[in-house]
Every structure is written in structure tokens, then in C-alpha cells.
Structure 1
Amino acid sequence: MDTAIRAKVTAKDFFLWLGAMVALYVSATSLILLVHQYINVFFPNALDYAPSYSSSMRFAIASLVVFFPLYIWLTRMLHQDIRQTPLKQELWVRKWLIFLTLFVAGITMAIDLVMLVNTFLNGDITTRFILKALTILIVIGGGFWYYLNELKGKWEEKKKESTIVAGIVSVIVLATVASSFFIIGSPQTERLARFDEQKTADLQNIQWQIISYWQQKEKLPVSLADLEDPLAGFVAPKDSQTGASYTYESTGAMSFKLCADFNAPSRDMITGADTKAMRVPAPIGGDLANENWKHNSGTVCFDRTIDPDRFPVFKK
């Protein structure tokens, strides 16, 4: 009777094992995604124009920072619990979740290998693809090996080896997370980049207001104050970082320039995208309409020329 009571699954046992498995899945997925983003950075796809990986990298880092320590802590608690009560190795929740993990890991590795072989047979295999496939195999394969030994009770019996494995994996995860800051920068750098993105959005808004003004009055505004319209609710935005007004100057009958102070080069310049659009006045509405907001750090002016064929004056 005592044995049956001790081997019974309690609410604590159930949620500890469930929590550990959820933390494991999130940590493994986040680690794979983070390494994949490294591969994207160092082996870029020629078909990707000015790709941005910082958002997905930040999410993967945040997930690892929260869930990986949680996984280590929960796993340690479970191992200590089993060492104190060896019969808990036979808990159904433990066996079911471990077998489920082994099944998912096995299927994932099999699919990964199928994709690798299929890509090779199609002649589309690249260094980028191979590295991503190997990342999945190594991470998932490592988890498969660990829980195969977990099923046999190895880590409960050999505490020292369990601690060594946890230490090695922790160092790998920590190094992977720390390395990411060399790519996406520090939180302060990211904050400054967001200020720059807001400045670009403000300039785009002002630009289209200038176009609308020209279409209605067939002339450019003298200053940004001329654009303000209480009925339409438009007020010329200001630099959200400094509170200063943006610089506007009419340079011709249909040309003008907008200037702002930026903290750093735009992300598409950092990733090595073509920057020719910065060096020529861009006709608004032309092919460069969505590509000519690249900038360096410091004060940058964007020269614009309105194309009357694309933006004709409104008939009165």
C-alpha cells in the first residue's frame, strides 16, 4: 500500500514534468532559430533584399533567457525528487512525456534528413541549407540522446555526469546568446535604431503631405507650418528623440529636401544593400519610392523631385 501511494502521480509531479517539457521545447526551438539567424547573417541569400533579422533574434534571445534557466531548474528538481524517491522513475507522466519527446525528436530528425537528401538530389544544396540542417540534427539529436539516457535513469544515478552535461549545454546557450549582441547590438543601440525608424516614418509622412499640398495649390509650401491643417488634423511631426523640428527646404518649383539627424546607418545599409538611391535625387512615385530612405549617421538630407505625370495637379 505504501509503495502504491509513493508511486502515485501528484499534481506537483504532473506540473513539474509538464513545465520541464514545455521549457525544453521552447528552449530547443529558440536555440535553433537563433543559430539559423546567425547562418542567415553570415551566409545571406542573394534574393533577399535588405533582410532584417534583429526582431526574430530578439524574440529567440528573450525566450532562451527565460525558459532555459527554468528548464535547468525544473530538471534539477525532478532529478533530486527521483533520487529521494526512486519509485518516481515509474510515474506514468514521466514515461509518457519522455516517450513523447523521443518520438517528436525522432520524427524531426527523420524529416530533416529527408529534406537534406531531397535538396541534394534536386541540386539545390547550399552551405546555408547544410548548416541549418546540421543545426537541427545537433540540437534535436542531443535532446534525443539525453532523454534516451533519462529513460534509463542514468542522470539520476550519476549526478556528476548530469551536472557536467548541464554545464556544457549552459555554456553553449550562454555563448550563443552573448554572440548575438555583436549582430543586433545592445538594448540601447536598438532603442536608438527605433528612434531612427520613427524619424524615417515622420519624413515619409511629411513628404506625402507636401505632395498633397502641391497637387492642391500647384506650388510647394514655404515651410512645414504651411502643411498644418486643423480640419484634416495634420500637425507636422517633430523629432521624437530631441523634440526639434525636421528641416525642410524648397529647392525648385517641384523639388525639395527633408533632413533629419540619425543615430546610426539604416539597417539596410548595415546589411550591405545597394545604397545608390542615397546619391541621386529620387523622383517621388518612381521606382525608388520605397527604397530611397537609406541613411548614414548624422544629419542626412533626402532630395525629392515630384513627378507631375504620376502626381498631377488636382483640377479645380
Structure 2
Amino acid sequence: MDAPPLSQFIVHARSKGMDFGTIRALLLAAGWKEKDVLNAMSSEQLDLAVPLPPDAGGARNATLHLLAFGAFHTAIISLVLLFFALIDRRLPDVATDDLFTTTDRWNSTLRWLVAQIVISFPLFLIPWRYLLGEIRQRPEKAVSPIRRWLTFLTLLLAIATLTVTAMTLLYYFLDGELTLRFVLKVLLLSLLAALSLVYFVGALSPNRGQAIDARWHRTFGWLAGILVAAGLVWGMSAVGSPFQQRYRKLDQRRLADLRVIVDEIERIVVQQRRTADAELKRPLPADLDELVAAAEFQRPSIRDPETGVPYRYEVLDERRFRLCADFRFPRDESVRVIWNHPAGEACFEFDVLEISR
């Protein structure tokens, strides 16, 4: 293969006895960039290429490091919150739990945390593995400024987490309020913070320009993968499959439909509703079709969203009526307990005047 024009000219000029200063001046005068000229001259005289500085790569290197560290922090925070939520659900504490937190809200929180981990953990692994590959080829990149800054920031966060955790543990111990749930959270948080601390301390190569042993990274990868997999499996088993979530949403829709039906019956039947003077102004509707025709505020949906079968409605007397629907899952919440129901057919009886009072 013919030599490139620049290298070919330098070889020719050197064979004619020209020094490098003269050759450089001629090439610059001809319009060549000084960087290209110097690189060509060095490749002509040296067996090794001129090494690039540790922070070589510029914006690309910074972007990959920011992506990797940002995804790592997102993944580990989401993993901690996921385990905390699962522990809270497994070991409820009546002294601190929010009585108004429903199962649907729990499941929504867990699904969001699972989604964050599923996306952020690979976003950490992929660029991080690529960066480690670059370090194996050019060990001096292990001490690039952006890498060291982000690593020390991660170490600072890990040390701060361990410090605050130790303080909190000691406080609750002295206060006599240690519970199994709290101890498990402390152990989990300490494990993740210590794992991050040990790994990134090791990732800061003690010998400048030396790449880290690949076994160190593989060990961390396996440990991190096991923890993430455990959290995802536990989280998915707690919230159920996507198909189950769809059925739960259908159950929520059924309850919402029944609430609208009850509210509209009250509106069209009761005079001075929600007061002590509430009284009937007309009879209860004979069926749900009559209710739809007479609706004043919102036309209710009277059919099951999954099967299309009408909800079952029965007038018991001049004030009382019954509504029935079929549910996939039971409901046992501490709020709006009147709407708790078993799986399968569930019926709710209402006194229209009692509702208004």
C-alpha cells in the first residue's frame, strides 16, 4: 500500500537531508495543520504512537461517565426504596404506617421502582463496560479527571450514607425503638453503601496508569446483579404480572361505576341531600336504564367493563336498594371500608336517606 502523501513527503524530504524544522515550515506554509504534521513526524521516527492525555475523549468520555454514574445512582436509590417498600409491606408497623395507603397505591409505587431499576441498571452496565474496555487498552484513562470526580462523589455519598445509618441505628437503640423492620432496613442500606464504597475505592487504581484487575469488576457485577435480580423478583411477585394488573384496574373501574350509580340515585331521589332534613322526592328508579335516563350530574356506566353484562340492581323497599358486580380480586382496605368485597360476586346494600345523612 502506498504511503499517505504527508508521510511520503516527510520520508522524501529527510532523504534529501532536510531537517524537521524546515520540513515543518514547508508543510505549514502549504496549509497542513500543525497537529497532523507533528503526528506524521513522530510516526516516522518513533516505534510507539504518542500517548494521549488521560482525559482524551472530551465530550464523549464525559457523556459516558455521566451516563454511567447517573444510572448507577438511580438504580441503587430505586433498589433501596424498592426493598424498603417490600419490607414495610411484609412487616407492617401500626405505629408508623399510613392508614390511608391502599394496596393500589403500594402496587403503583412498586411498579414505578421496578421500572426504574429495569431501565437504569443496564444503562449503568453498558457504558461502564465500554469504559472499562477502553481502560484495558489505555490504562492512563483510569485516572481521567471526570472519572475521578464522579468516583469521589460516589464515595462521599456512600460514606455519608454509612455515617447517617450508624447514627440512626444508635439513636433508635438508645431510644428503645429498635424493630425487626428497622434493623433489616439498616442492614440493607449498609450492605449497598459498603458494596459501593469498596468497589469504587478499588476502582481508583493505586498505581497511576494501571488498569484494575478484571476479576474485581466481575465480582462487583455478579454481586450487583444478584441484588438487583432479588429485588426485581420480589417486587414482581408482590405486584403480580401485567395481566393481573389489568384485572385489578378493571376491578377499580367496577367500583368507580358503582359509586357513580349510587351517587346518581341519591341525586335524583333525595331532596336536600347530605342534610338532616333529607327526604325522598321521588321513588327509586325501577332499573338502571331508568337511572341513566334520569341522571342529573353524570350518566353512569351500567355495564361491566370486561364482560359487557349490566350490573345487577334490585330495589328492596322505598329507601333501600342493592347493587351487585363480579370482581376478580378481593378488596380489604382501611379506607372506604363499605366498598370492601370478596373475589367473585359481591353485593352492596344502601339506604338512600342514610347516604345523605
SS in 1 for 2:341: coil
* CA displacement at 1:229 relative to structure 2: 4.8
| Paired position in structure 2 for 1:114 | 167
Letter in 2 for 1:223: D
SS in 2 for 1:228: helix
SS in 1 for 2:356: coil
Of 200, 215, 226 in structure 1, the residue corresponding to residue 290 of structure 2 is 226
* CA displacement at 1:311 relative to structure 2: 2.2
Q: Distance in 1 between matches of 2:241 and 2:152?
A: 40
| Paired position in structure 2 for 1:33 | 81
Q: Distance in 1 between matches of 2:197 and 2:119?
A: 22
| Paired position in structure 1 for 2:340 | 294
Given that 2:264 and 2:295 are in contact with CA atoms closer than 8 Å, whether structure 1 keeps it comes out as no
Q: Distance in 2 between matches of 1:60 and 1:162?
A: 25
Q: Distance in 2 between matches of 1:168 and 1:250?
A: 62
Q: TM-score, normalised by structure 1?
A: 0.85
CA deviation string 1:47-95 (max 9, x = no partner) = 5436432111111111111111221112111111111111112211011
Whether 1:259 and 2:314 are equivalent positions in the alignment is: no
Greater CA drift, 27-36 or 125-134 = 125-134
Q: TM-score, normalised by structure 2?
A: 0.76
CA deviation string 1:88-124 (max 9, x = no partner) = 1221101100011111111122112222222222222
| Paired position in structure 2 for 1:10 | 58
Of 178, 184, 187 in structure 2, the residue corresponding to residue 131 of structure 1 is 184
Whether 1:174 and 2:256 are equivalent positions in the alignment is: no
CA deviation string 1:150-176 (max 9, x = no partner) = 112699431133223212321221122
SS in 2 for 1:258: strand
| Paired position in structure 1 for 2:93 | 45
Greater CA drift, 253-262 or 104-113 = 104-113
Given that 1:250 and 1:256 are in contact with CA atoms closer than 8 Å, whether structure 2 keeps it comes out as yes
Given that 1:250 and 1:257 are in contact with CA atoms closer than 8 Å, whether structure 2 keeps it comes out as yes
Of 303, 311, 331 in structure 2, the residue corresponding to residue 246 of structure 1 is 311
Given that 2:79 and 2:228 are in contact with CA atoms closer than 8 Å, whether structure 1 keeps it comes out as yes
Given that 2:267 and 2:296 are in contact with CA atoms closer than 8 Å, whether structure 1 keeps it comes out as no
* CA displacement at 1:233 relative to structure 2: 6.0
Distance 1:5 1:145, change over 3 A: closer
* CA displacement at 1:186 relative to structure 2: 0.8
Whether 1:211 and 2:275 are equivalent positions in the alignment is: no
Quote the sequence identity (%). Answer: 28
| Paired position in structure 2 for 1:61 | 114
Given that 2:260 and 2:298 are in contact with CA atoms closer than 8 Å, whether structure 1 keeps it comes out as no
The unaligned stretches of length 5 or more in structure 2 are: 1-37, 39-49, 272-280
Whether 1:305 and 2:351 are equivalent positions in the alignment is: yes
Given that 2:78 and 2:117 are in contact with CA atoms closer than 8 Å, whether structure 1 keeps it comes out as yes
SS in 1 for 2:270: helix
Given that 2:169 and 2:186 are in contact with CA atoms closer than 8 Å, whether structure 1 keeps it comes out as yes
Number of residue pairs the alignment of both structures matches: 292
* CA displacement at 1:4 relative to structure 2: 5.0
Letter in 2 for 1:225: D
Distance 1:6 1:37, change over 3 A: closer
The unaligned stretches of length 5 or more in structure 1 are: 274-287
Given that 2:55 and 2:146 are in contact with CA atoms closer than 8 Å, whether structure 1 keeps it comes out as no
Runs ≥4 in structure 1, deviation > 6 angstroms? none
| Paired position in structure 2 for 1:147 | 200
Q: Distance in 2 between matches of 1:135 and 1:6?
A: 36
Larger radius of gyration: 2
SS in 2 for 1:264: coil
Distance 1:51 1:133, change over 3 A: farther
* CA displacement at 1:252 relative to structure 2: 1.6
Of 153, 163, 168 in structure 2, the residue corresponding to residue 100 of structure 1 is 153
Q: Distance in 1 between matches of 2:140 and 2:332?
A: 56
* CA displacement at 1:206 relative to structure 2: 0.8
Q: Distance in 1 between matches of 2:269 and 2:296?
A: 16
Given that 1:257 and 1:303 are in contact with CA atoms closer than 8 Å, whether structure 2 keeps it comes out as yes
* CA displacement at 1:181 relative to structure 2: 2.5
* CA displacement at 1:148 relative to structure 2: 0.8
Distance 1:46 1:241, change over 3 A: same
Instruction: Calculate the aligned-residue CA RMSD, in Å.
Output: 2.3
Distance 1:36 1:170, change over 3 A: same
| Paired position in structure 2 for 1:184 | 239
Letter in 1 for 2:82: L
* CA displacement at 1:141 relative to structure 2: 1.6
Distance 1:100 1:24, change over 3 A: same
* CA displacement at 1:5 relative to structure 2: 4.6
Given that 1:80 and 1:156 are in contact with CA atoms closer than 8 Å, whether structure 2 keeps it comes out as no
Whether 1:76 and 2:129 are equivalent positions in the alignment is: yes
Q: Distance in 1 between matches of 2:53 and 2:123?
A: 28
CA deviation string 1:190-239 (max 9, x = no partner) = 11001001111111111111111221424211111222257846322022
